[in-house]
A and B are shown apart, each in its own frame.
Chain A
Amino acid sequence: MEGDAVAQSTEKAQPASQFIKLLGTLTGHAEPRVWHLAWDPRGDLLATCGEDRTIRLWALSAEALPAPTAAAMAAAWHCVAVLEDAHQRTIRWCEWSPNARYLATCSFDGMASVWEYNDGDFDCVASLEGHENEVKAVSWAASGTMLATCGRDRSVFIWEAEEEEYEVAAVLHSHAADVKAVAWHPQQEVLASASYDDTLKLYAPNDDDWRCFATLSAHQSTVWCLAFSPDGRGLVSCSDDRSVSLWRDLTGECGYVLAATAADVHERAVYAVSWAPEASGLGYIATASGDNAIGLLRAHFGSGTEGGNGGESQLELIGIQSDAHAGDVNSVSWRPTRPQAASTERAGWLASCGDDGAVKLWQAGS
Chain B
Amino acid sequence: MSGLNANPDLFDVATERRSADDTAREVDPSVRDPLDELEVFEMIRGIKDPEHPHTLEQLRVVQRSLIRVDDARGRVYVNFTPTIPHCSMATLIGLSIRVQLLRLLPSRFKVDVNVTPGTHMNEKDVNKQLSDKERVAAALENENLLKMVNSCLQGIS
Contact = CB atoms under 8 A, between A and B. Distances in A.
Interface in B82-138: 107-108, 110, 128, 131-135, 137-138
Contacts of B141: 89-90, 108
Contacts of A290: 110, 133
Interface of B: 107-108, 110, 128, 131-135, 137-138, 141
A145 to B, nearest CB: 29
Contacts of B131: 240, 269
B128 A327 contact: no
Contact of B137 (A51, A180, A221, A327): A51
A152 B138 contact: yes
A297 B134 CA distance: 25
B133 A221 contact: no
Contacts, number: 38
B107 A222 contact: no
B132 A222 contact: yes
A233 B70 CA distance: 43
B132 A90 contact: no
Contact of B107 (A134, A152, A221, A326): A326
A33 B137 contact: yes
The prevalent SS among residues of A at the interface is loop
Given A89-B141, A108-B141, A221-B128, A327 B107 contact: yes
15 contacts: A32-B107, A33-B137, A89-B138, A89-B141, A90-B137, A90-B138, A108-B137, A180-B134, A222-B128, A269-B133, A290-B133, A326-B107, A327-B107, A328-B133, A355-B107
A134 B137 CA distance: 11
Nearest to B74: A292
A108 B131 CA distance: 18
Given A221-B128, A326-B108, A134 B138 contact: yes
Interface of A: 32-33, 51, 89-90, 92, 108, 133-134, 136, 152, 178, 180, 196, 221-222, 240, 268-269, 290, 326-328, 355-356
A352 B128 CA distance: 26
A-B CB proximity, top 4 nearest: A89-B141, A108-B138, A134-B138, A108-B141
Nearest to A222: B132
A92 B141 CA distance: 13
B133 A136 contact: no
B138 to A, nearest CB: 5
Nearest to A196: B132
Contacts of A268: 110
- The listed residue with most A CB atoms (<10 A of its CB), out of B107, B128, B132, B134, is B134
Contacts of A32: 107
